[in-house]
Structure 1
Amino acid sequence: MFELRRLRLLHELALRGTLSAVADALSYSPSTISQQLALLEKEAGVTLLEPEGRRVRLTEHGRILAAHAARALDLDEHARGELESLHPGLAPVRVAVMQTAALAIVPAALALVAARAPRLRVELVEMPPELGLFELTARGVDLVIAEQYPGHTRAHADGLDRETLGTDPIRLAVGPADPAQSLIDLREKAWVMEPAGTAARLWAVQQCRAAGYEPDVRYELADLSAHARLVAAGQAVAVLPDLLWAGTHAPVRLLELPGHPAREIFSAQRTASRARAGILEVRRALRDAFPAASETRRVSP
C-alpha cells in the first residue's frame, strides 16, 4: 500500500520540478524529501527518479505514479470534504488573494464569514493570480481570488472550479495636472506596470500597441498602490482597476479606455474540494461582498 504523504511529494515534484522547490513549499529539507521519495521507490518496486545534471527528473514510471498520486489526493480531499459537511469548520480555509481583492472585497467577506460561521478559521496569503492558481493546483491553498483581462483568457486547468464574482472597470490613470485626454497622448510618457509575464502587464502593453506605440515601461512594480502614488506625483502613467479606489477618492485623473474594458474577478477551488463546507461558506461571502465593493468605488471627477 502506498503512503499518501509520499505520493504527495511525488505529485509536488511533478508540478514544481525540483526537490528544493518541493522542500520550500512544504517546509521540509531537501534531504527529507529525497529520503521519502526513496522509500516510495521501494514501495513501488520501480525507479521513479533519474539524475539530470544536478537535478532529478521523473522516469516514465514516475510520471505514471504521479498521475495516480493526483487522483489519490483528489479522493482523499473529497472524503475529507464529506466528513467536514457533517462538522463545518473542521478544517481552516487558506485563501490566495490578489492585492485589490484584499483591499476591496476581503474585509467585508471576512465579516460575513465571522457572522455566519464563527468557528470557521480563514487564512489569507497575498499572491499574484498566476502564482495563486498554481498553488491551488498544488494544494498549497484551498481557494483563489484571481482576475482575467478582456481578450486574455487564462488556461483552464483540469480539476478547478471557477465562479465569476463580477467585473471591474479598467481606466487610464494620469497625474492630476496631466493634460492628456487619451491613450495616444501618452506615447512619450514613462509607464508603471506590473512585472513581466503577468496577465495585467501583457494586457496593458497590448493596449499601447493597439494605439500605435511601444510603451516606455520605466517602473515595474507589483504593488498597485505604488503605481497610484507614482501617477499622483506626475512621474508615470498607468492603467488601473477601479477596485483599487474602493471606499476612497482616486488621487489621479482617470480617463476612459477605448471600448470601456473591464477585468473579470473570479474565485476558484479544486473540484475535489466541492463538498468542503468551509470553502463554500467563504465563496458565498465573497459573492455577497463583491457588489458592495463595486458600489463604494470612487473615481476622480
Structure 2
Amino acid sequence: MFELRRLRLLHELSLRGTLAAVADALSYSPSTISQQLALLEKEAGVALLAPDGRRVRLTEHGRVLAAHAARALDLDERARGELESLAPGLAPVRVAVMQTATLALLPTALALLGERAPGLRVELVQLPPERGLFELTARGVDLVIAEQYPGHTRAHVEGLEREVLGTDPIRLAVAPADAARTLADLRGRAWAMEPAGTAARDWAVQQCRAAGFEPDVRFELADLTAHARLVATGHAVAVLPDLLWAGAPAPVRLLDLPQHPAREVFLALRDASRDRAGIAEVRRALRDAFAATGRTAGP
C-alpha cells in the first residue's frame, strides 16, 4: 500500500518542480523529502525520479503516480469533509487573500464568523491571486480570494471551482488638484503599477496602449496603499479598484475609464473540499462581507 504522506510529496514535486521548493512549502528539509520519495520508489517498485543536472525530474512512472496521488488526496479530503459534516468540530480553514480583500472584506467576515462559528480557526495569508491559486492546487491553502480583469480570463484548472462574489469598478486615480480629465491626459506621467506578470499590470498597460501611449512605470509595487499614497502626494497616477477605499473616503480624485470597467472578485476552492463545514461558513461570511461593501454582488 502507498503511504498518503509520501504520495503528497510526489504530488508537490510535480507542481513545484524542485525538492527545495517542496521542502520550503512543507517546512521539511530537502534530505527528508529525498528519503521519503526513495521509500515511495521502493513501494512502487519502479523509478519515480531521474537526475536532471543538479535537480531531479519525474520519470514517466513518476508522472503517472503523481496523477494518481492527486486523486488520492482528493478522496482523502472528501472523506474528511464528510466526517466533519457528521461531527460538529470544525477543522481550521486557511485562506489566501489579495490586499484589497484583506482591507475591505476580512474585518467584516471575521466578525461574522466570531458570531456564527466561534470555534472555527481561520488562518490568513496575503498572496497575489496568481500565487494564491497555485497554492490552492498544491493544498497550501483551502480558499482563495482572487480577481479577474475584463478581457483577461484566468485559466480554469481541473479540480477547482469558483464562486463570484461580485464586481468592483476600476478607475483612474490622480492627485486631488490634478487637472487631468481622461486617460489620454496622462500620457508622459509617472505611473504606479503592480509588478510585471500580474493580471492587474497587464490590464493597466493595455488600457494605456488603447489610449495611444506606453505608460512610464516608475513605481512597481504590490502594495496598493502605497500606490494611493504616491498618487495623493502628486508623485504618480494609477488605475485602482474601488474596494481599496471601502469604508473610507479616497484621498485621491477618481476619474471614470471608458466603458466603466470592473474587475470580477471571486472565491476559488477545491471541489474535494466543498462539503467541509468550516469552508462553507467562511464562504458565507465572505459573501455577506462583500454585499456589505455596497458593490454589485455575484449571482
- TM-score, normalization by structure 2: 0.98
Residues 243, 294 of structure 1: 8 Å contact kept: no
- TM-score, normalization by structure 1: 0.97
Residues 90, 277 of structure 2: 8 Å contact kept: no
| C-alpha RMSD over aligned residues | 0.8
SS at match of 2:293: helix
Q: Which residue of 2 aligns with 1:251?
A: 251
1:227-246 equivalence runs, <5 A: 227-246=227-246
Q: 1:228-272 deviations in whole A, cap 9, x for unaligned? A: 000001000000000000111111110000000000011111000
Q: Which residue of 1 aligns with 2:14?
A: 14
Runs of 4+ aligned residues of structure 1 deviating over 6 Å after TM superposition are none
Measured in 1, the distance between the counterparts of 2:91 and 2:25 equals 20
Q: Which residue of 1 aligns with 2:34?
A: 34
Measured in 2, the distance between the counterparts of 1:50 and 1:88 equals 46
Residues 159, 270 of structure 2: 8 Å contact kept: yes
Q: 1:271-296 deviations in whole A, cap 9, x for unaligned? A: 0001101001100111111111236x
Count of paired positions: 295
Measured in 2, the distance between the counterparts of 1:271 and 1:159 equals 5
SS at match of 2:282: helix
Structure 1 residue 124 corresponds to structure 2 residue 107: no
Q: Which residue of 2 aligns with 1:222?
A: 222
Q: Which residue of 2 aligns with 1:115?
A: 115
TM-aligned CA deviation for residue 53 of structure 1: 0.6
Q: Which residue of 2 aligns with 1:278?
A: 278
Can you give the 5+ residue segments of structure 2 that lack an aligned partner in the other structure? none
Measured in 1, the distance between the counterparts of 2:294 and 2:226 equals 22
Q: Which residue of 2 aligns with 1:135?
A: 135
TM-aligned CA deviation for residue 87 of structure 1: 2.4
| Equivalent residue letter for 2:143 | L
Residues 174, 232 of structure 2: 8 Å contact kept: yes
TM-aligned CA deviation for residue 161 of structure 1: 1.2
1:91-106 equivalence runs, <5 A: 91-106=91-106
Measured in 2, the distance between the counterparts of 1:246 and 1:284 equals 20
Measured in 2, the distance between the counterparts of 1:35 and 1:268 equals 34
Measured in 2, the distance between the counterparts of 1:294 and 1:50 equals 54
Can you give the 5+ residue segments of structure 1 that lack an aligned partner in the other structure? 296-301
| Equivalent residue letter for 2:104 | A
Measured in 2, the distance between the counterparts of 1:88 and 1:174 equals 51
The 1:199–1:88 alpha-carbon spacing in structure 2 relative to 1, beyond 3 Å, is: farther
Structure 1 residue 267 corresponds to structure 2 residue 274: no
Measured in 2, the distance between the counterparts of 1:286 and 1:70 equals 28
Measured in 2, the distance between the counterparts of 1:72 and 1:232 equals 52
TM-aligned CA deviation for residue 90 of structure 1: 3.0
Residues 176, 252 of structure 1: 8 Å contact kept: yes
Structure 1 residue 170 corresponds to structure 2 residue 179: no
| Equivalent residue letter for 2:217 | V
Structure 1 residue 208 corresponds to structure 2 residue 208: yes
